[in-house]
Amino acid sequence: MLIIDQKTEITAGNTVLTIGKFDGLHIGHMKIIRKLLEMAAKNYYSLSKLVVSFVNHPNELLKANYKGSLMSETEKTEILMHSNIDYYCPLVFDSSLRDTEAEVFFEEYIVKRWKCRCLVVGDDFCFGKGRKGNIDFLNKACRIHGIDLHVVEREKYLGEPVSSSRIREALDEGRMFEAGFMLGRRYTIKGIVEKGRQLGRTIGFPTINITVPQSKYLPRFGVYGGFVDLNGERFRAISNIGVKPTVGSDRAGLESFIYDFDREIYGAFVTVALESFIRPELHFAGLEELKKQIEIDKKSFTNQ
């Protein structure tokens, strides 16, 4: 897969193209990707497969209370690299792109720059200033330019369309199975292990502290059962997300106790997978009370 910027013009033939936020690359998004691959496989126009998304989620600019993305740009790129895509174009969503009229974006990007001959989008897709580039607009514009338009119906879970907002709601309530089902994978947080205050060592539960990217969406504060992946190895773990009120912290973070693990891994890049919500974050009178609760948390996840 070749990563191109938004100024790059496709010169190697025409494309089958899809555009979207693709936050989380959930099962609905992957349904669109599969349709794109299907249309390319028919090889009507010797099409290259092009996915266009955003480096920064548009809501960072559009919503004052935006709380982060389900997936980092690195995570998104990794999944697309294993999806048999030829080109990936991550757009920078800024005020200029926000204010671009749908007609201008369609002509300048979809037609001229990306040489689209087949466009695949979800049934709720909109683009351009004021979101005027809806499905009705695309039907007319694609017909004029001889572009095949394929509108993919949204994937459903429990009778309702899967969406990034539904996944956030599930994460906010600790419903990790539902979030994972809609994502098509466990919810993960990736980051670098940093040196903490090492208080866990004093109570027999050494932990690793992970630097969480500011742009990453954090689920409900509390304790989770799951796994830590390190250089291809997977370890069972319980993780705390929050501000650690018992010991005090000035920012939300992620701390994991790894079962039967005694290595020093400061500076290592790890993936923490959250499988189940155990309990909300609590304030304890002291470290001894916290130690007793961690024992309970550990047994709780072990017995699941």
pLDDT single digits (tens) 93-107: 999 999 999 999 999
Q: What confidence score (pLDDT) does residue 63 get?
A: 79
Looking at residue 287, its pLDDT comes to 61
Q: Whole-prediction pTM value?
A: 0.88
Domain 186-302 classification at class level: mainly beta
Pick the more confident residue, 112 or 288: 112
CB within 8 A of 126, min separation 6: which ones?
132, 133, 134
- Please check whether the two domains, 2-161 and 186-302, share a CATH topology: no
CA–CA separation, 260 vs 237, rounded Å? Answer: 9
The CATH topology of domain 2-161 is: Rossmann fold (3.40.50)
69-78, 129-138, 215-224, 293-302: least confident range: 293-302
The tens digit of pLDDT for each residue in 180-218 reads 999 999 999 999 998 766 554 544 467 889 988 888 999
Residue 112's φ and ψ, nearest 5 degrees, are -80, -50
Q: Residue 286 has what pLDDT?
A: 57
Chain-centroid distance of CA 231 in Å reads: 21
Give the chain's radius of gyration (CA, Å): 22
CA 82, CA 36: separation in Å to the nearest integer?
A: 14
5, 210, 270 from 233: Cα distances, Å: 34, 17, 10
Q: What is the pLDDT, as a whole number, of residue 81?
A: 94
pLDDT, tens digit, 9 for 90 and up, residues 208-255: 899 888 889 999 999 999 999 999 999 999 999 987 644 455 567 899
Task: State mean pLDDT over 150-164.
Answer: 96
Phi (first) and psi of residue 7, to 5 degrees: -90, -10
How crowded is residue 300: how many other Cβ atoms within 10 Å of its Cβ? 15
Residue 146 neighbours by CB distance under 10 Å: 8
- Three-class secondary structure of residue 102 per DSSP: helix
Domain ranges within the chain, ordered by starting residue? 2-161, 186-302
- pLDDT exceeds 70 at position 74: yes
Q: Name the more confident of 287 and 21.
A: 21
